[in-house]
Structure 1
Amino acid sequence: MSASHRSFSRGWALASCVPALLFLGLVACGSSDPEPAGRPGTHHGAMAATPGTAASTVPGMRGMQGIQGMPGIPDVPATARGLAAERDGYRLDPEAADLPAGRAVGYPFTVTGPDGGPVTDFAEHQTKKLHFYAIRSDLTGFRHLHPAMAADGTWTADLAALTPGTWRLYTSFVPDAGPRKGSELVLSRTVTVPGAAAALPLPAPAGSTTVDGYTVTLRSEPMAGVHRLTVTVSKDGRPVTDLQPYLDSFVHLTAFHEGDQALAHLHPTDRVAGDHGGPTVTFQALLGEPGNWRLFLQFQTAGQLHTAELTLNVT
Structure 2
Amino acid sequence: MSSSRPHHRRTLAAAAAAAVLAAALTACGTSGTGHGMAGMDHGATASAGASAAPSQLMAGMDPMPGMGSNGLSDNQAGYRLTATDTAAPAGKAVDYRFAITGPDGRPVTDFAVEQTKRMHFYAIRGDLTGFQHLHPTMASDGTWTAPLTALTPGTWRLYTSFTPDSGDGKGNSLVLSRTVTVAGAAPSEQLPPASATAVVDGYTITVKGSPMANMAHEMTISVAKDGKPVTDLQPYLDTYAHLTAFHSGDAAIAHLHPETTVNGDHGGPDLTFHAEFPQSGNWRLFLQFQTGGRLHTASLTLEVG
| TM-score, structure 1 normalization | 0.73
Give the superposition deviation at 1:265.
2.7
The CA distance in 2 between the partners of 1:96 and 1:225, in whole Å, is: 36
Match of 2:253 among 242, 263, 269: 263
Partners in 1 of 2:201 and 2:150 — Cα distance?
A: 22
- Supply the distance in 2 between the matched residues of 1:112 and 1:191 (Cα, whole angstroms): 19
Q: Deviations over 1:189-239 (max 9, x none)?
A: 011000011000100011211101111111115699455422111111121
- 1:121 equivalent among 110, 126, 140: 110
Q: How many residues align?
A: 243
Using the TM superposition, give the Cα deviation of residue 277 of structure 1 relative to its aligned residue in structure 2, in angstroms.
0.8
Between Structure 1 and Structure 2, which shows a larger proportion of helix residues? 2
Report the secondary structure of 1:217's partner residue: strand
Distance across 2 between alignment mates of 1:158 and 1:278: 31
Mapped pair 1:313 → 2:297: no
**Per the alignment, in what secondary structure is the counterpart of residue 69 of structure 2?**
helix
In the aligned structure 2, how far is the partner of 1:148 from the partner of 1:263? 22
- Percent of pairs identical after alignment? 63
5+ long unaligned stretches in structure 2: 1-60
Check conservation: 2:215, 2:277, Cα contact below 8 A.
no
What residue is the counterpart of 2:65 in the other structure? 74
Structure 1 alignment gaps of length 5 or more: 1-67
1:296 is matched with 286
> Compared with structure 1, are the counterparts of its residues 227 and 118 closer, same or farther at alpha carbon in structure 2 (3 Å cutoff)?
closer
Structure 1 residues 260 and 222 mapped into 2: Cα distance closer, same or farther (>3 Å)? closer
- What residue in structure 1 maps to residue 264 of structure 2? 274
Q: 1:180 and 1:298 mapped to 2: Cα distance?
A: 29
What pairs with 1:1-315 in structure 2 (closer than 5 Å)?
Answer: 74=65, 80-220=69-209, 225-315=215-305
Contact 1:242–1:278, Cα closer than 8 Å, also in 2:
yes
Q: Give per-residue Cα distances to partners, 1:51-101, cap 9 Å, x unaligned.
A: xxxxxxxxxxxxxxxxx9x9xx5397xx92111001122111112111111
Q: Residues 255-312 of structure 1, C-alpha deviation per residue, up to 9 Å, x if partnerless? A: 1001211111312232222332111112232322111000111100011110000101
Paired with 2:102 and 2:163, the residues of 1 have a C-alpha distance of: 12
| CA root-mean-square deviation | 2.1
Distance 1:176 1:197, change over 3 A: same
Q: CA deviation at 1:248?
A: 2.1
Equivalents in 2 of 1:115, 1:236: separation in Å?
55
- Contact 1:220/1:228, CA 8 A, preserved across alignment: no
Matching residue of 1:58: none
Higher relative contact order (CA 8 A, sep 6+): 1
Q: How far, CA to CA, are the matches of 2:187 and 2:181 in structure 1? A: 14
Distance in 1 of aligned mates of 2:136 and 2:110: 15
